[in-house]
């Protein structure tokens, strides 16, 4: 089967636009010389001798290639100059044209290039001959003769170069100045040297006929030296191109662009029409067949040689070269049927394993076939390419493993969270983003009675059934030990509940493992955006709460509702008690110090609410804050903490320094347009300067992908209040987004700070947050500082402020003053400066 034609394959036909005018110029000048010159032909024996010299000169070439076009400069200028002096004009033109036809046909050039080169030689020769003819009688020893011959040779060279540059521009587009210089300057220099040498030969021949013997020996030596120079030049260029190729491969990111960089460079280095990379299917990697073509702007999924060549190389692990000097071998017929003259295919090896093939086909340029050196060169490139492909696959595997569960190969919690956040951000009107969480009940009993291998089989089977029955648009993941999540866009909440019911029925069918049959029960919880949450963490949490509640109801499927926010039955009764606690001032504000990490000076406190319930005892802040959020009491709770914190800030008299306070805000509070006015009123009421108040907003609230919090944030900043992004790092927001926020401070989440001493990844994250935040002019506070080692690491990376149990736990106001007095350095007790705190043993 012949190969498909690449786009723009026939663009080289434009060379005829130049070939025709060149040929017409040669014919017109030759006719004019024949009519005006008294003896335009003759000396045929001498002409045959020069014909032999012209043909021999084609065997010694210096190739200059630009893009996929090439032209030649050779020592033919020397016999050409002698012919201008000794031969009749038309005899010289005929001899040069015949020699050009013979020489270029020996190189098996395509017709368009063959006749362009012949026309170029004819036009240049005829113009040079016309210049010499118009100079009349020439004497070898006269400077006038030398100048005439140099002018004729220069005219020939200029015509040749201009014609080549015009053809390249027509076929490949406009050349850059650098490419024109690279093409022209070396050729002009070589032509000047050849012309000078030809004049020396002419003068010697004019002195004595015996000088011919010495000239033959000198020319032979010159030809050998010329060949050596051309080979050295080619080797140096090849080494430079290999170095540039390996650097380009090494600098290519692992983002799938390695094929584009590799194939384009390989095609250019080996001057091939096609450069092809073939990687057969391996594991989860599909088959890859990509080619860079001489006429295409990008990669195509076709090849320049038949597939049987690649299969042979892949099976044998040995390089294969077909056509030209390598012969046809057993694949010659297949290559000719495909429409390609020659091809080289080499294996890509990863250790002892062949992972694919690298191939070039269709040699371009004046050298119409590949050489043994090209095979060696392609093998060297293939070694680098194989390493690059393996590295790219390794990075891809690492990325895949980082986003997938190792047992079931489903998406893990990290990928589920990222996908959910993306789905929430781009939800279309009239649809919901559904989160279906399935909890495999009884898995612990399976592990304990039958072993973890049986439990793993159950999990794998659940994953298989979910894959088989969920819609194709759904993302399936394993979020925990026995929990599976399905997330997708649906038209309604009812449809999401119906799908959860159907999938639960499929999972609950009996599982048969050999002689073992298991009945595994499953419950499902459903949460949807926008009704039940606006971020991935909230939706997953509420789907989990719904699944927990589903264990106690018939049917085993529960849609989330606000009442399920409680983590226990006790939490359902906190709503009324919280209202009473606010009315009767049962809540208490504790204060956790924030200190500078280098000077250990107290710079403020964070206000943390505590509730000692008369019946239930201590209530976790996340419990009563969630209840306040869902019962409309969040505003009262926030106002209570603000008023109490500002009052204590005003009353603080120790050290003759003010006490800055920080208060946590809910994201919902920022959507209240009246809140900034409340803050202003409380500041005036308590007579506290605005810069002593810091409002901390969780990253998920201030960076929720919308501009809803921005008006309140700007109004608060205009009041002079300091703003802080709390728990930074727990979301998936870019650090660059901090630039558009009107905040003064960033608090690094404790999960990263506490892991700095043992996890290089956590250390790198904290370092990045500190560095970029400082570049934005933001203060950085590290939460959760609990060890001296963590403190030292934070000091090393330049973090300014810390907060954690290493300095103090949250304290009531009375104990805060006592702690401050006890922790201050003795030498600062009598001073009015901010006191330096001692390290806690």
Given a cut of 80, whether residue 519 has pLDDT beyond it is no
For residue 587 the two structure tokens come to 């809540």
Q: At what angle do helices 372-403 and 258-269 cross, to 10 degrees?
A: 180
pLDDT of the residue at 351:
81
Which of the pair, 324 or 712, is modelled with greater confidence?
A: 712
Of the chain, the percentage scoring pLDDT greater than 90 comes to 22
Is residue 33 within 8 Å of 130, Cβ to Cβ?
Answer: yes
pLDDT of the residue at 732:
43
pLDDT of the residue at 449:
67
Provide mean pLDDT across the span 558-577: 71
Residue 453: strand, helix, or coil? helix
Provide mean pLDDT across the span 545-569: 78
> What's the pLDDT tens digit per position in 689-713?
999 999 998 775 666 445 667 888 8
> What's the pLDDT tens digit per position in 625-645?
877 877 788 889 999 999 999
Is residue 618 within 8 Å of 639, Cβ to Cβ?
Answer: no
Range of weakest confidence among 69-83, 390-404, 430-444:
69-83
Provide mean pLDDT across the span 520-525: 87
> What's the pLDDT tens digit per position in 443-494?
776 776 677 888 888 899 899 999 999 999 999 999 888 899 999 999 999 9
Could you tell me where the beta strands, DSSP code E, fall in 582-660? 587-596, 602-613, 617-619
Range of weakest confidence among 52-66, 289-303, 337-351, 610-624:
52-66
In the structure, what pLDDT confidence band is assigned to residue 54 with cuts at 50, 70 and 90?
Answer: confident
Q: Which span out of 28-37, 125-134, 522-531 was modeled with the highest average pLDDT?
A: 522-531
Counted residue by residue, the chain has a size of 841
Given a cut of 90, whether residue 677 has pLDDT beyond it is yes
In the structure, what pLDDT confidence band is assigned to residue 100 with cuts at 50, 70 and 90?
Answer: confident
pLDDT of the residue at 789:
92
Average pLDDT score, the chain: 81
pLDDT of the residue at 9:
42
In the structure, what pLDDT confidence band is assigned to residue 66 with cuts at 50, 70 and 90?
Answer: very low
Which of the pair, 220 or 305, is modelled with greater confidence?
A: 305
Is residue 322 within 8 Å of 332, Cβ to Cβ?
Answer: yes
Given a cut of 90, whether residue 352 has pLDDT beyond it is no
Which of the pair, 559 or 198, is modelled with greater confidence?
A: 559
pLDDT of the residue at 610:
92
Given a cut of 90, whether residue 437 has pLDDT beyond it is yes
- Rounded to a whole number, what is the largest CA-CA distance in the chain? 131
Question: Residue 829's Cα: distance from chain center in Å?
Answer: 58
Given a cut of 60, whether residue 426 has pLDDT beyond it is yes
Provide mean pLDDT across the span 14-41: 87
Is residue 698 within 8 Å of 667, Cβ to Cβ?
Answer: yes
Of the chain, the percentage scoring pLDDT greater than 70 comes to 83
> What's the pLDDT tens digit per position in 824-835?
655 544 444 545
What is the DSSP track for 280-314?
--BTTBPPEEEEEESS-SSEES--SS-HHHHHHHH
Which of the pair, 680 or 517, is modelled with greater confidence?
A: 680
**332, HSE (Cβ side, Cα atoms, 13 Å):** 8
Given a cut of 50, whether residue 839 has pLDDT beyond it is no
Provide mean pLDDT across the span 566-595: 79
Given a cut of 50, whether residue 6 has pLDDT beyond it is no
**Residue 373: partners with Cβ closer than 8 Å, 6 or more residues away:** none
Provide mean pLDDT across the span 563-589: 75
> What's the pLDDT tens digit per position in 199-238?
877 777 777 767 667 767 776 776 677 667 666 766 666 6
**Residue 773: partners with Cβ closer than 8 Å, 6 or more residues away:** 735, 738, 746, 779, 780
Q: At what angle do helices 177-207 and 77-86 cross, to 10 degrees?
A: 50
- How far apart CA 243 and CA 769 sit, in angstroms, is 38
Given a cut of 90, whether residue 589 has pLDDT beyond it is yes
């Amino acid at each position: 089967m012949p190969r498909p034609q690449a786009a723009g394959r026939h663009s080289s036909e434009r060379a005829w636009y130049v070939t025709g005018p060149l040929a017409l110029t040669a014919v017109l000048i030759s006719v004019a010389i024949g009519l005006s010159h008294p003896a335009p032909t003759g000396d045929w024996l001498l002409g045959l001798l020069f014909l032999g010299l012209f043909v021999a000169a084609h065997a010694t070439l210096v190739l200059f290639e630009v893009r996929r076009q090439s032209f030649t400069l050779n020592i033919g200028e020397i016999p050409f100059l002698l012919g201008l002096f000794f031969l009749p004009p038309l005899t010289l033109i005929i001899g040069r044209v015949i020699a050009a036809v013979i020489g270029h046909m020996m190189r098996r050039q395509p017709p368009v290039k063959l006749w362009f080169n012949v026309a170029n030689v004819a036009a240049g020769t005829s113009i040079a001959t016309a210049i010499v003819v118009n100079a009349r009688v020439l004497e070898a020893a006269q400077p006038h003769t030398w100048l005439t011959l140099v002018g004729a040779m220069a005219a020939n060279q200029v015509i040749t170069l201009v014609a080549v540059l015009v053809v390249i521009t027509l076929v490949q587009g406009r050349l850059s100045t650098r490419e024109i210089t690279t093409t022209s300057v070396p050729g002009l220099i070589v032509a000047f040297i050849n012309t000078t040498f030809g004049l020396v030969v002419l003068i010697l021949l004019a002195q004595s006929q015996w000088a011919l013997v010495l000239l033959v020996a000198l020319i032979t030596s010159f030809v050998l030296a010329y060949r050596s120079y051309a080979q050295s030049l080619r080797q140096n260029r090849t080494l430079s191109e290999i170095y540039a190729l390996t650097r380009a491969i090494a600098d290519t990111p692992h983002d799938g662009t390695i094929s584009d960089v590799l194939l384009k460079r390989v095609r250019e280095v080996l001057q091939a029409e096609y450069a092809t990379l073939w990687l057969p299917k391996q594991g989860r990697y599909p088959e890859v067949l990509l080619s860079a073509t001489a006429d295409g702007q990008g990669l195509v999924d076709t090849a320049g040689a038949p597939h049987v060549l690649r299969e042979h190389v892949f099976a044998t692990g040995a390089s294969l070269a077909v056509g030209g000097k390598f012969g046809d071998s057993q694949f010659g017929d297949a290559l000719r049927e495909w429409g390609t003259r020659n091809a080289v295919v080499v294996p890509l090896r990863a250790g002892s394993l062949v992972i694919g093939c690298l191939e070039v086909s269709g040699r371009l340029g004046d050298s119409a076939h590949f050489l043994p050196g090209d095979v060696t060169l392609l093998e060297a490139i293939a070694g680098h390419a194989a390493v690059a492909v393996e590295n790219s696959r390794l990075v891809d595997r690492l990325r895949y493993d980082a986003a997938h569960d190792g047992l079931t190969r489903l998406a893990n919690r990290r990928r589920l969270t990222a996908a959910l956040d993306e789905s929430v951000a781009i939800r279309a009107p009239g649809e919901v983003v559904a989160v279906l969480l399935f909890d495999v009940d009884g898995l612990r009993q399976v592990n304990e009675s039958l072993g973890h291998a049986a439990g793993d089989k159950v999990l794998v089977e659940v994953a298989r059934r979910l894959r088989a029955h969920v819609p194709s648009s759904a993302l399936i993941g394993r979020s925990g030990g026995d929990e599976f999540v399905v997330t997708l866009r649906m038209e309604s909440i009812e449809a999401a509940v119906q799908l959860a019911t159907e999938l639960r029925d499929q999972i609950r069918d009996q599982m048969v493992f050999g002689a073992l049959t298991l009945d595994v029960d499953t419950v499902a919880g459903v949460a949807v955006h926008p009704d039940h949450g606006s971020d991935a963490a909230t939706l997953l949490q509420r789907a989990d709460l719904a699944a927990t509640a589903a264990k106690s109801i018939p049917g085993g499927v529960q849609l989330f509702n606000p009442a399920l926010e409680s983590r226990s039955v006790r939490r359902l009764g906190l709503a009324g008690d919280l209202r009473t606690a606010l009315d009767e001032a049962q809540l208490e504000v504790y204060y956790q110090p924030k200190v500078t990490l280098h000077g250990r000076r107290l710079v403020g406190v964070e206000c943390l609410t505590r509730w000692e319930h008369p019946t239930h005892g201590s209530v976790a802040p996340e419990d009563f804050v969630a209840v306040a959020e869902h019962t409309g009491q969040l505003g009262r709770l926030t106002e209570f903490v603000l008023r109490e914190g500002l009052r204590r800030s005003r009353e603080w008299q120790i050290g003759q320094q003010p006490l800055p306070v920080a208060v946590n805000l809910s994201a919902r509070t920022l959507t209240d347009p009246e809140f900034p006015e409340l803050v202003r009123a409380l500041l005036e009421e308590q007579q506290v300067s605005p810069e002593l108040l810091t409002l901390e907003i969780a990253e998920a609230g201030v960076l929720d992908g919308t501009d809803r919090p921005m008006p309140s944030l700007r109004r608060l900043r205009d009041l002079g209040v300091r703003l802080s992004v709390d728990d930074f790092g727990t979301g998936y927001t870019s650090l660059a987004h901090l630039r558009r926020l009107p905040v003064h401070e960033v608090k690094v989440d404790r999960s990263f700070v506490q892991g700095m001493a043992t996890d290089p990844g956590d250390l790198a994250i904290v370092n990045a947050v500190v560095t970029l935040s400082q570049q934005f002019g933001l203060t950085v506070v590290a939460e959760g500082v609990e060890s001296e080692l963590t403190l030292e690491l934070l000091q090393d990376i330049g973090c300014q402020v810390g907060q954690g149990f290493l300095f103090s736990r949250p304290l009531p106001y009375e104990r805060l003053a006592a702690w401050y007095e006890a922790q201050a350095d003795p030498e600062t007790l009598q001073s009015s400066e901010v006191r330096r705190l001692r390290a806690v043993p």
